[in-house]
Chain A
Amino acid sequence: MGEFRMPALGADMEQGKLIEWLVKPGDYVHRGDMVAVIDTDKADIDVESFEEGVVAELLVEVGTTVPVGGVLARITQTPAAGVAPAGRTAPVPVPVPAPVPVPAAATSGSVSPPVRRLAHSLGIDTGDLHGTGRNGAVTRADVEAAARASAPAPAPEKPDADRVRSSPRARRVAGELGVDLAAVSGTGLKGAITETDVRRSASAEVGTSAVAGTSAEAEPAAVTEPPVTEPPVTKPPVTEPAAEPPIPAPADRAESLRRAIGTLMTRSKREIPHYYLSTTLDLGAALAWMAEVNQARPISARLVPAALLLKAAALAAKEVPEVNGFFTDETFRPSRAVHLGVAVALRRGGLVAPAIHDADTLPVEVLMDQLRDLVGRARAGRLQRAEMADPTITVTNLGDLGVESVFGVIYPPQVALVGLGRVLEQPFARNGLIGVRPAVTATLSADHRVSDGLRGGRFLARMEELLQKPEEL
């Protein structure tokens, strides 16, 4: 018997409010499947299961606030008697008519990723659904109702459809690049996907998906009949009482976020002996290279200086481990991976700093796409658990606001914060001559319990060096 507990979605989180169940009793969940949406003080966050098994019981009603660690649901390893696994059973194979491409229509209400995935697997176009959830959001129940209404059964998958013929090398590269093998066509032996196919697919995706979602979503869903436009409204198994709005009003939430930030920053300034370094980075080479690269890109896929600066910061953090990791229980634990927290100001006030995972390994253009995606979702209030909990070092960029330099406060339990100001043309003296160069002031706030100015200075010096060879970033 496994338990699904209220996760800690950040060092400062003490409790969270359950605002949506994405599963119901009898559902089979894999590790990593999204099971619930939790409202923290900062955002609504999709939370995944760390257990695999059948959901036996949902213990908490939607709208309930639960302390971190509190049990929300029970998950059994095998289906309990009388609880038939649902949702994952293979549909009865029926002959499939030619697939009807369904254009991805813009939806009025939002659709959470797990519900989108369910809809995709059932061949339902969420654009045609009338959402019954909060703010017109399409819920799991809406999708299931539509699926029932659009019987006969949706297109069955071939029995071996989930087994993609691909070389081990191709699978490893696909994992590294985040390419879905199902969307790649193979040119190798007997149609096997090779490394070349994966890389070709990856470069095509980067070129076209600046605004689109994953390739799976972009594919037209195959359906036997158009889904009904007005599904019968059925209540989800666990519903909140309609009379009690579970979500704090925006003003409440802003206040609560302000309080959370205050608590955390107080703790940071009380516990962490900060030291501060500042240097001016010459961006001449980096911006010239960026301008050249951008000429070949559609506007939606163009790079911005922040992407180069973030990549340089991530690489420098990888090389100076004393600024990358967590200080907990009086011990510093350096992190091998660089999960770069990016401070995002929220429109309603306050900020969050979700992570771009493994930022040091991402090509700049991929990092750019992830940055766009992350900022968009942070402002929409939909972040995932790992993005909130994982940052190993944070970057704050106040250049957009015209600030020239920022000396930030470290976000515990991290040990360093990088501040970036505005990119300014500045007079630069070099080799006895004065010229005008674009430059930015980069600062480092670091934890003196872990590092000294020598190592901190090394970090900033590496950023500078890396930015002189932007094509290698």
Chain B
Amino acid sequence: MKTTYRDATRAAIRDAMQRDDRVFLMGEDVGSYGGCYAVSLGLLEEFGPERIRDTPLSESGFVGAGIGAALGGMRPIVEIMTVNFSLLALDQIMNNAATLSHMSGGQFNVPLVIRMTTGAGRQLAAQHSHSLEGWYAHIPGLRILTPATIADARGMLWTALQNPDPVLIFEHGSLYNQAGDLPDDAGAVDIDTALIRREGADVSLITYGGTLGLVLEAAERLAEDGIDAEVLDLRTLRPLDDAAILATVAKTHRAVIVDEGWRSGSLSAEISARITEHAFYDLDAPVGRVCSAEVPVPYARHLEQAALPSVDRVVAAAREAVGTHG
């Protein structure tokens, strides 16, 4: 079945709503407008205003309402327009959703799923373009998912809804138009493991979400030069699949982490640290990183592109790790 990342995401929501009447969707413009990225187009007509709920522009308010609904036995899917806006709801996410299970001694779970768009590349400027999923991956009590493929867009939501604790799903804005094949019987997928998207022997390119595509392209470029790169898609940023990360490093002895977030204090820093902690004697080169420039993401197209990880930068970092500088 030919489909797109957007349609697969919508199919996942529809499937969940059909299978479980406790599931509902709410967020800014998800109803009448069909969603800011048209993910929920048509769902209002199909499921009605009780289950597809438009909210006021008040992230803290409607995320809090979602937490309350989850505590009350519902299975809410809350959509936040972009990760930048999620900061308005950070207090609810961090101080309430992430903590209640622990503070109640396990008496209250918060089975809430929050979807939001992340990432740059579409000239939406600094207030709509950042990649802050690494920040959320810092918080105990949350599970952080970054579907990078159509199959994961289709399959992660249902598994996330079965999780008794809050799950945040980050959909990179550049992925919605990605087209591809999806098996007709595609369904739920695991949300625990990282996956090798390309086998290789010379260097491990570790990435997730919006940068998976350019990393795979970089791997093909490297193959033309005789460098056999392995690509690991993290899929879940919290908890990280340490075993998969260490296994690929043990295999190739070289790692480059590609993360659209900023470098300082980032998820890429965390992965690099784990590699040096647990695989130091497997390393044949320093761990490399390709991250975004440490500036608010620029609006001007050429500046924005210059600030983001690119195929060229990934290729250069991989070459440096392998030790060829041609």
Contact = CB atoms under 8 A, between A and B. Distances in A.
Contacts of B281: 168-169, 171-172
A195 interface: yes
Interface residues of B, number: 10
Interface stretch (B45-53, B127-135, B283-291): B283-291
A279 interface: no
B299 interface: no
A201 to B, nearest CB: 15
Interface in B242-291: 253, 280-286
Interface in A162-197: 167-172, 187-189, 192, 194-196
B217 interface: no
B220 interface: no
Contacts of A187: 323
Contacts of B323: 187-189, 194
B320 A169 contact: no
A170 B254 CA distance: 12
Contacts of A172: 281
B205 to A, nearest CB: 17
Nearest to B253: A169
Interface string B301-312: 000000000000
Nearest to A186: B323
B320 A189 contact: yes
A169 B323 CA distance: 14
Contacts of A169: 253, 281-284
Given A189-B285, A194-B285, A168 B320 contact: no
Contacts of B286: 189
Contacts of A170: 284
Interface in B166-206: none
Contacts of B253: 167, 169, 195
Interface residues on A, range: 10 to 19
Name the prevailing secondary structure of the B interface residues. Answer: loop
A344 B58 CA distance: 87
A314 B53 CA distance: 72
Contacts of B282: 168-169
Nearest to B280: A168
Contacts of A188: 284-285, 323
Nearest to A192: B285
A171 B280 CA distance: 11
A69 B322 CA distance: 53
Contacts of A194: 284-285, 323
A196 B322 CA distance: 11
A325 B194 CA distance: 43
A169 B286 CA distance: 11
Contacts of B285: 167, 188-189, 192, 194
Interface string A183-220: 00001110010111000000000000000000000000
Q: Select the residue from A168, A172, A187, A196 with max chain B CB neighbours within 10 A.
A: A168
A173 to B, nearest CB: 9
Interface in A325-370: none
A215 B320 CA distance: 30
A191 to B, nearest CB: 10
B254 to A, nearest CB: 9
A189 B280 CA distance: 17
Contact of A195 (B280, B284, B320): B284
Contacts of B320: 189
Nearest to B286: A189
Contacts of A196: 284
Nearest to A195: B284
A170 B280 CA distance: 11
A185 to B, nearest CB: 13
Interface string B82-116: 00000000000000000000000000000000000
A196 B323 CA distance: 11
A338 to B, nearest CB: 23
Interface in A146-175: 167-172
A167 B253 CA distance: 10
A295 to B, nearest CB: 31
Contacts of A171: 281
B156 to A, nearest CB: 35
A299 B41 CA distance: 80
B226 to A, nearest CB: 14
A108 B283 CA distance: 47
A187 B285 CA distance: 11
Interface in A261-308: none
Nearest to A175: B281
B277 to A, nearest CB: 12
22 contacts: A167-B253, A167-B284, A167-B285, A168-B282, A169-B253, A169-B281, A169-B282, A169-B283, A169-B284, A170-B284, A187-B323, A188-B284, A188-B285, A189-B285, A189-B286, A189-B320, A189-B323, A194-B284, A194-B285, A194-B323, A195-B284, A196-B284
Given A167-B283, A169-B283, A192-B285, 10 more contacts: A168-B282, A168-B283, A169-B282, A169-B284, A170-B284, A189-B285, A189-B286, A195-B253, A195-B284, A196-B284
Interface of B: 253, 280-286, 320, 323
Closest 6 CB pairs of A and B: A169-B284, A172-B281, A167-B284, A188-B323, A195-B284, A168-B281
